Amino acid sequence: MSRLHSRRSWVESANGHPDFPLDNLPFGVFSPAGLAPRAGVAIGDYIFDLSAAGAAQLFTGDALRAANAATGEGLNALFALGSGPRRALRDALLALLDEASPRRDELLHRQADCRLHLPAHIGDYTDFYVGIHHAENVGKLFRPDNPLLPNYKYVPIGYHGRASTVGVNDMLVRRPLGQTLAPGNTAPNFGPSKRLDYELELGIWIGPGNDHGQPVPIGSSHEQVAGFCLLNDWSARDLQAWEYQPLGPFLSKSFATTVSPWVVTPEALEPFRQAQPPRPDGDPQPLPYLWDDHDQRTGALAIELEVLLLTNAMREAGLAPERLALSNTLNMYWTVGQMISHHTVNGCKLQAGDLLGSGTLSGPQRSQLGSLLELTEGGKNPLTLGNGETRTFLQDGDEIILRARCTREGFASIGFGECRGRVSAAL
């Protein structure tokens, strides 16, 4: 495991930056003021213009091939190349941005002056349910005597989401309309959701993909990962309660999903890999197609996940956002590799730029709960904020901010940037 944390960059703000040091170099699509979108790399407070660097012939070989594949239309072609060219491009960027290399300030744009875009065209989006504490907490609300259905510990549960309504931080999150069944009623009403919620998730960008009919073996599933992001799967809990049986979420989830705009690569996260936490005694052994010793030794990531809330009243008073939860990706019951192998075992085709969500990653403590559904126990116990406001579910004007960071002694911290979304009134 290389200790690239000791390297410094001629981009001064990168040195000691909590999110984007030289060790990170996440990919994204951005547009400087008045200019067309293009591919870039976050470094400190700046974005390195990958497209301009390619045009300036700063890359050769596989690095050039990868740089040419990254365009303003999206990073799909870069994802499709797989890990080899991506690693070559990262190595070239590490050299170009090292403090010993000549400055190329003309290739930098201040992040604050740029607009960030969805990093890839999403052909398909699948949301999993691998946060076992969330699954148990939600199950207790609806099935107190049987909170976790028996298939959960055998199958990485997921559902097919709506790719067309995935967006980045500046997307509109409009309160959805739909049918709800009020307690005691026998017929539904139609109107805006009154129980709007967020979900704290990890997003996984798919790389090369597989041929239709060809499952991805668990031993090579890690080669399918192009990178990671934060993901907020907005949820209308009252719509969900009425519609989810027998086929699962529909309008309660399809109205909006927000992702963070930077794609953090597997290479940047290498120092933060860990063994998958052992299953509790008595839990079943996964079936052979879901079990690989190497995946169990290295398939988990230690990423600290944070949820913050900024209300209209807090905003007007000049108050900082308030933390609602601090959790970790180590709360995943299934690894990313197991998710991918299960997704494809029936022959399902994954394609470059497809997006997977982990499901809500709550921890076992109240301070680690990744949704209001859990924090307020289905709305029964309102949450009191520091300024005296209360919340059972989200109100118009509320802004949810997700953050993530990896830390380890002796290594530079790696951050994901922010995943932000503000709720607006229904039409």
Catalytic residues: 134
Task: Please tell me whether residues 89 and 146 are part of one structural domain.
Answer: no
Task: Please tell me whether residues 186 and 275 are part of one structural domain.
Answer: yes
The DSSP secondary structure of 334-361, one letter per residue, reads S-HHHHHHHHHTT-PPPBTT-EEE----
Q: What's the CATH number where 77 sits?
A: 2.30.30.230
C-alpha distance from residue 139 to each of 143, 196, 197, 333 (Å): 5, 19, 17, 16
In a domain, 376, yes or no: yes
Task: Please tell me whether residues 364 and 219 are part of one structural domain.
Answer: yes
Continuous segment of H or E residues that includes residue 43: strand 38-43
Instruction: Please tell me whether 143 is known to bind a ligand.
Output: yes
The DSSP secondary structure of 82-140, one letter per residue, reads -HHHHHHHHHHHHHHHBTTSPP-GGGEEEGGGEEEE-SS--S-EEEE--BHHHHHHHHH
Task: Please tell me whether residues 110 and 143 are part of one structural domain.
Answer: no
Question: Which of 72, 95, 117 is the last residue in one of the domains?
Answer: 117
pTM reported for the whole predicted model = 0.97
pLDDT digits (tens, 9 = 90+) for 247-291: 999 999 999 999 999 999 999 999 999 999 999 999 999 999 999
Instruction: Please tell me whether 351 is known to bind a ligand.
Output: no
In a domain, 2, yes or no: no
In a domain, 237, yes or no: yes
Q: Which of 308, 327, 311 is nearest to 319 (CA)?
A: 311
Give the whole-angstrom CA distance, residue 352 versus residue 81: 9
Instruction: Please tell me whether 199 is known to bind a ligand.
Output: yes
Question: Which of 74, 94, 117 is the last residue in one of the domains?
Answer: 117
Instruction: Please tell me whether 368 is known to bind a ligand.
Output: no
Instruction: Please tell me whether 87 is known to bind a ligand.
Output: no
Task: Please tell me whether residues 289 and 249 are part of one structural domain.
Answer: yes
- Strands 125-128 and 355-357, by their bridges, are parallel
Task: Please tell me whether residues 51 and 107 are part of one structural domain.
Answer: yes
pLDDT digits (tens, 9 = 90+) for 109-135: 999 999 999 999 999 999 999 999 999
Give the whole-angstrom CA distance, residue 374 versus residue 379: 9
pLDDT digits (tens, 9 = 90+) for 174-183: 999 999 999 8
In a domain, 47, yes or no: yes
What per-residue confidence (pLDDT) applies to 52? Answer: 95
pLDDT digits (tens, 9 = 90+) for 60-116: 999 999 999 999 899 999 999 999 999 999 999 999 999 999 999 999 999 999 999
The band of 195, judged by pLDDT with boundaries at 50, 70 and 90, is very high
Task: Please tell me whether residues 165 and 51 are part of one structural domain.
Answer: no
Instruction: Please tell me whether 240 is known to bind a ligand.
Output: yes
Task: Please tell me whether residues 288 and 392 are part of one structural domain.
Answer: yes
C-alpha distance from residue 261 to each of 29, 30, 218, 280 (Å): 8, 9, 28, 36
The band of 6, judged by pLDDT with boundaries at 50, 70 and 90, is low
Instruction: Please tell me whether 418 is known to bind a ligand.
Output: no
Task: Please tell me whether residues 15 and 92 are part of one structural domain.
Answer: yes
Task: Please tell me whether residues 55 and 200 are part of one structural domain.
Answer: no
Taking the CB of residue 111, how many other CB atoms lie within 10 A of it? 19
The parent domain of residue 64 ranges over 7-117
CB 360 within 8 A of CB 332: no
Q: Is the pLDDT of residue 29 over 50?
A: yes
Token pair recorded at residue 367: 């301070």
Instruction: Please tell me whether 311 is known to bind a ligand.
Output: no
In a domain, 14, yes or no: yes
Mean of pLDDT over the chain: 96
Question: Which of 47, 82, 117 is the last residue in one of the domains?
Answer: 117
pLDDT digits (tens, 9 = 90+) for 336-357: 999 999 999 999 999 999 999 9
Task: Please tell me whether residues 216 and 304 are part of one structural domain.
Answer: yes
Residue count (the chain) = 427
Task: Please tell me whether residues 159 and 82 are part of one structural domain.
Answer: no
Mean pLDDT score, 162-173: 94
